[in-house]
């Protein structure tokens, strides 16, 4: 199974990807997670990515495309993947199409998780992550258990001013990809409102 998860920042892509992975046995490729790992490791890639991430801008296409191309060559990606947060621009979508064509494989679908802008800021500003397991929580909608609450962290780019920039980047640069996949009959839209369980059930129904 080769799937793309799209949707605005905070739509619940990471939350839903974690729930679906065990069911499908494919690898989760999150460019945001890959950039955060590079920032943490202090690599040249991390230093470059950090400047853009902290401003709520996209990391340049050349850097992002190179990173994903390498990732797709890894053995675990041969069985399939769930791409979360990539592609985010038209050139990224074109580069992905070229890479898959070169490998003689095709996308099975593009799932667009729809959450109106009015809900996004609250979801993102309340997001917390367990640095030990990567589990995503929300201060109000999915609070961490007491034993974990003391160690959860907030992403620096989850500040309200930065969220507005990221949302603007989504509408300007990422949303225009959807019609491209729609023309190929690949898009399935899923309502991202309601509890995480309700959203998972909708996604499972679409994938079935
Ligand atoms: P969210 O889903 O909350 O928007 P991500 O973890 O997917 O966050 O991404 C965090 C940041 O990493 C983005 O705001 C952007 O700066 C950078 N990033 C992630 N994926 C890409 C991509 N495909 N192209 C460019 N920048 C990206
Ligand atoms: P994305 O990967 O699309 O940026 P996340 O999965 O990190 O989004 O979710 C963003 C925030 O919203 C997290 O704090 C998460 O716990 C919370 N969240 C995810 N799904 C829901 C939902 N269905 N209802 C309310 N909050 C949610």
State the distance from the centre of ligand 2 to the C-alpha of 123, rounded, in angstroms.
6
- Domain-located, residue 52: no
- Domain-located, residue 18: yes
* In the chain, alpha helices (H): 13-24, 31-41, 44-54, 61-72, 90-103, 117-125, 146-149, 160-169, 178-183, 196-207
Range of the domain at 170: 2-26+80-207
- Measured CA to CA, the distance from residue 201 to residue 102 in angstroms comes to 34
Q: What pLDDT does 70 receive? A: 96
- Domain-located, residue 112: yes
- What total number of domains does the chain contain? 1
Q: What are phi and psi of 155, to 5 degrees?
A: -65, 140
- Measured CA to CA, the distance from residue 43 to residue 49 in angstroms comes to 10
- Domain-located, residue 74: no
Q: What pLDDT does 24 receive? A: 80
Q: What pLDDT does 110 receive? A: 98
Q: What pLDDT does 21 receive? A: 86
- Domain-located, residue 100: yes
Q: What pLDDT does 91 receive? A: 98
Q: What pLDDT does 50 receive? A: 96
Q: What pLDDT does 208 receive? A: 87
Q: What pLDDT does 23 receive? A: 76
State the distance from the centre of ligand 1 to the C-alpha of 154, rounded, in angstroms.
15
> Which ligand 2 atom sits closest to the C-alpha of 30?
2
Tell me the catalytic residues: 13, 88, 127, 155, 166
- Domain-located, residue 63: no
Give, for ligand 2, the residue of 4, 10, 115, 203 to mutate: max count of ligand atoms closer than 8 Å to Cβ: 10
- Domain-located, residue 53: no
- Domain-located, residue 148: yes
Q: Between β-strands 187-191 and 109-114, what pairing exists: parallel, antiparallel or unpaired?
A: parallel
Q: What is the CATH number of the domain that holds 93?
A: 3.40.50.300
**pLDDT in single tens digits along all 208 residues of the chain:** 999 999 999 999 999 999 988 778 889 999 999 999 999 999 999 999 999 999 999 999 999 999 999 999 999 999 899 999 999 999 999 999 999 999 999 999 999 999 999 999 999 999 999 999 999 999 999 999 999 999 999 999 999 999 999 999 999 999 999 999 999 999 999 999 999 999 999 999 999 8
């Amino acid at each position: 199974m080769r799937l793309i998860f799209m949707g605005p920042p905070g739509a619940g892509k990471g939350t839903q990807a974690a729930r679906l992975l065990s069911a499908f046995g494919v690898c989760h490729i999150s460019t945001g997670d890959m950039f955060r790992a590079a920032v943490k490791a202090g690599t040249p890639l991390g230093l470059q990515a950090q400047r853009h991430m902290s401003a709520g801008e996209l990391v340049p296409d050349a850097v992002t495309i190179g990173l994903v191309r390498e990732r797709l060559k890894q053995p675990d990606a041969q069985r399939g993947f769930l791409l979360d947060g990539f592609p985010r621009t038209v050139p990224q979508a074109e580069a992905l199409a070229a890479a898959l064509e070169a490998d003689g494989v095709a996308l099975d679908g593009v799932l667009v998780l729809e959450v109106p802008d009015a809900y996004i800021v609250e979801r993102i500003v309340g997001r917390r992550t367990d640095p030990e397991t990567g589990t995503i929580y929300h201060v109000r909608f999915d609070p961490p258990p007491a034993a974990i609450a003391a160690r959860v962290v907030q992403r620096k780019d989850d500040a309200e001013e930065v969220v507005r920039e990221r949302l603007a980047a989504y509408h300007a640069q990422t949303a225009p990809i959807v019609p491209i996949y729609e023309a190929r009959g690949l898009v399935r839209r899923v309502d991202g409102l309601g509890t995480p369980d309700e959203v998972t059930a909708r996604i499972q129904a679409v994938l079935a």
